[in-house]
A and B are shown apart, each in its own frame.
Chain A
């Protein structure tokens, strides 16, 4: 089974490229302090707004900080927000979806109406409001993105669980006296894991985008700590004289989100039994 998936995955060039980019970014993020050519927060006012050069690969910003170093350090923010937020959404979404699908009845109605309510609120505005209230910092950003992105996942897990619940092996397991938690997490969950994996991967890309948007609006990571979004904020003020300040972080966001989407789509193709 696994070897079949691996074989299919290898044949899917785009997904493999996506995975390669993600591995590269993760390594870059993990080793950022060692890899940075300059201190990402060190200001040098004699060197402000310099174009890309051998010394500053991606130029410098309005305070003379090295953009490449800031971008590399920002990778840590983006990836950790992406992974942690999706981790939270996965935990909440999967559990609620399993409960709704398995127990049905009132539990199902209650959870799914809650999902409907969550889906009817414009997420970005909710996040903005909550961050304005709690104060902007990276941990709040992770938690709030995670806590607003579970409803779609819940809906999907519920649907899968509804169909798996009716299979005979679930009846058989229940008949042999397997406890309900074990039935849910050992017998049903592994059978619905494929679509969860796909949507989690796509979700990381979405979470990174949201984080960038929040930092851009000044409600995410606070300067001087660099993030792709807040580099862009500075960039927009100097767009006419310092293109490198906007173009490089924008490309970073684009490539990263694209990589996660390619991997997600690839996983969908690989794990789908119909292909």
Chain B
């Protein structure tokens, strides 16, 4: 029998995004190409301003038209070009087949709505009937308490769990996670990521994990793409990348990782 590789679920091809700043046009992403297979996790690493969040926003077509534009490229999701879809078709895909977990759990929840009300929005917009209780139990939260709570009554870790629960409510095939743990403290970070990736295995989602933390990404992903100034400078499996970094920037990133001072014998 021949082994046939699974076709990629998401293929970004020569994506170029430009932002407008004070009348000038500034390239944020330049001719970027990457792909994610079903069930795979791709880590996208880079410093702030390297354009990594812009990639996620471009996939969702959430770049505000007054702030910038997608100049060219293709974003194929399950063989459909997201950039050439009309609003209606896009709305059927967005938030249903593709979900996103935002960076800051403190601003990603509406302060004047209860958790239950907010979580119900997505499935309602897609005409789906789902169990919020089940999703919350899935992320180890107590539905009885959380559903009626307002965001300010929850801790950062709990809010991020709520966001993960909302993101998987519609059983998406692709999950974009933009710095999902940056705003949380270290121990909570670990819990959240482990939760996220156990859910990924269970649901078979493709995940794009965006982070500035190379060490963290290396631990949880099968493949890493390093981004600098809007371009991918290097791509590969974490092991390869660490043992033979080819690009100077990757070497610099690896060099910047804190060394373990006390290694176990």
Contact = CB atoms under 8 A, between A and B. Distances in A.
Contact of B110 (A1, A179, A187): A187
Contacts of A104: 64-66
Contacts of A186: 113
B110 A177 contact: no
A175 B66 contact: no
B100 A175 contact: yes
A187 B163 CA distance: 17
Q: Nearest 8 pairs between A and B by C-beta?
A: A176-B122, A177-B125, A176-B95, A168-B108, A169-B110, A190-B112, A177-B95, A168-B102
Contact of A191 (B62, B95, B111, B152): B111
A191 B113 CA distance: 10
B197 interface: no
B94 interface: yes
B81 to A, nearest CB: 19
Q: Decide if the interface of chain A is mainly helix, strand, loop or mixed.
A: helix
A174 interface: yes
A29 B96 CA distance: 55
A168 B125 contact: no
Interface of B: 60, 62, 64-66, 91-92, 94-96, 99-100, 102-104, 107-113, 118, 121-122, 125-126, 150, 152, 163, 166
Query: For the side of the interface on A, what is the size category?
Result: 20 to 34
A178 B121 contact: yes
A121 interface: no
B150 A173 contact: no
B150 A1 contact: yes
A172 interface: yes
Contact of B102 (A172, A187, A191): A172
Nearest to B104: A168
29 contacts: A1-B152, A104-B65, A104-B66, A165-B64, A167-B107, A168-B102, A168-B107, A169-B108, A169-B109, A169-B111, A171-B102, A172-B100, A172-B166, A173-B110, A173-B118, A175-B60, A175-B94, A176-B121, A176-B166, A177-B91, A177-B95, A177-B122, A178-B122, A179-B125, A186-B113, A187-B110, A190-B113, A191-B111, A191-B112
B232 to A, nearest CB: 24
A183 to B, nearest CB: 10
Contacts of B125: 176-179
Nearest to B112: A190
A36 to B, nearest CB: 44
B231 to A, nearest CB: 25
